[in-house]
Amino acid sequence: MRDTTFVLQKICKQIALSDTAKETVVREYKALGELITNSDRITSDVDVKPQGSYNLGTAIKPLNGSDDDFDIDLVAVIHGSLNAAETKHSVGDVLKSSGLYAKKLLPEKNRAWTIKYQDSHVDVVPGVDGQQSDIMITNRIDKNTYRYRQSSPFEFKTWFMQKGQDIYQNSTFSKGYVRAEVEAPEEYKEYTILQEVVQLLKYHRNKMFEKRDDKLKPISMIVTILAAKAYTGQDDLSDALVSVVNGLRKQIEYDLNENPHIFNPTNNSEDFTDKWQDHPERKDAFFEWLRSVESDLGTTNQTEIMQWHERLSSIYGANRVQNAFEALGERQSEVQRQGRVSLNSNGVFEGDTSEKKVRPHTYWGD
């Protein structure tokens, strides 16, 4: 394993959600799911399903707050012929009538109801069954106007997991799936290399926009789509990070007027740059982030060690990076004691040569 990969993996373990946060997420999903599906305020059948970063295995800790904080998303799919306003308000009425959640409920968002804790939140997105997409979610156009819009979060998850190809770093890990009446989020015991790359990119983005208008921050789906499209099955995390970062820009599509677009690869009607024309400052902020991440992480395997240490510290936190480098030092000492030292062509220590990587499965086409 490369030294750079060892450090990056240690950082990933520190920025991923803690076990306590994961337990809280599952508990919140179950409680909210049972509240909504059992409520008399919705007369039609309802399915509550996880979506978003947690369900994709790319969730990370918030920049501020404790290690046990989280941000999660779920959809409440009503199986009925309600109009968009009725769908949105029926789910909102359930939450407002709950003694537990009413006091934590924020003012209505355009597409979701948000339950806010001190440094965590849950977004509940109402929707109905879709004919040309997984679901049709509600979207508030103005104060009194609601419409449906296509969304395909479940097909997207299948696509994303296929892109990851079940490639893990130095692991023989295998996954299992559990289904319940209220579909619980998947419990990830270990993350694929692609999932870890997305976690690193998202934390970089969060740090860059920490003190700026949150609406300027590129949305997670944009980061996730571009990273997954740029990933080509590398079985080493640092190699994958460099390849993906330097390939992000190539994944952006442009129309005849040179306007950039980033579509849901499983549903071309879902364009995650749809607000850029009305808000060009968001497009500018995305390309600013793209230049920054290319500069910061695009030369990971060619950067002098102390410079890389400083760069990582400014992004992921000095304590986390110091912990990772201290663990690297201990690992190097142990490898040297056992005589398993490998040098690259420049004479630089590259770690234990005895570890084996999981090779990619090529069971899908692009």
Q: Please report, for the domain that includes residue 126, its CATH number.
A: 3.30.460.10
Residue 182: pLDDT band with limits 50, 70, 90: low
**Together in a domain, 9 and 34:** no
Residue 321: pLDDT band with limits 50, 70, 90: very high
Contact (Cβ atoms closer than 8 angstroms) between residue 330 and residue 322: no
Contact (Cβ atoms closer than 8 angstroms) between residue 357 and residue 165: no
pLDDT at residue 183, as a whole number? 57
pLDDT at residue 242, as a whole number? 97
Cα–Cα distance for residue pair 9/55, rounded to 1 Å: 20
Residue 5 has pLDDT above 80, yes or no: yes
HSE (side-chain half, CA atoms, 13 Å) at 101: 25
Cα–Cα distance for residue pair 152/225, rounded to 1 Å: 13
Cα–Cα distance for residue pair 147/61, rounded to 1 Å: 33
Residue 84: pLDDT band with limits 50, 70, 90: very high
Among candidate residues 188, 214, 242, the one where a domain is terminated:
188
Contact (Cβ atoms closer than 8 angstroms) between residue 203 and residue 20: no
Cα–Cα distance for residue pair 176/220, rounded to 1 Å: 25
**Together in a domain, 59 and 202:** no
The DSSP annotation for 147-195 comes to EEEEE-HHHHHHHHHHHHTT--SS----------SSPPPP--SS--HHH
Domains held by the chain: number: 2
**Together in a domain, 181 and 258:** no
The pLDDT of 344-355, averaged and rounded, is 46
**Together in a domain, 347 and 226:** yes
Q: Which residues, 6+ apart, have CB-to-CB distance to 168 below 8 Å?
A: 190, 191, 192, 193, 358
**Together in a domain, 91 and 160:** yes
Share of the chain above pLDDT 90, in %: 69
Selection from 188, 183, 157 nearest residue 171 by Cα:
188
Element (H, E) at 34: helix 19-37
Among candidate residues 188, 221, 244, the one where a domain is terminated:
188
- For the full predicted model, state whether its pTM sits above 0.95: no
**Together in a domain, 130 and 214:** no
Contact (Cβ atoms closer than 8 angstroms) between residue 267 and residue 133: yes
Written as six digits, the tokens of 83 are 């109009």
Residue 176 has pLDDT above 90, yes or no: no
Domain span holding position 166: 17-188
**Together in a domain, 1 and 41:** no
**Together in a domain, 199 and 290:** yes
Among candidate residues 188, 214, 245, the one where a domain is terminated:
188
**Together in a domain, 198 and 98:** no
**Together in a domain, 151 and 206:** no
**Together in a domain, 177 and 313:** no
Q: How many residues are listed for the chain in this entry?
A: 366
**Together in a domain, 312 and 343:** yes
Residue 353 has pLDDT above 90, yes or no: no
Q: What does the DSSP 8-state code read for residue 99?
A: T
pLDDT at residue 332, as a whole number? 84
Alpha helices in 209-317 (DSSP H): 220-230, 237-245, 280-297, 305-316
Cα–Cα distance for residue pair 224/308, rounded to 1 Å: 24
Selection from 202, 292, 286 nearest residue 17 by Cα:
202
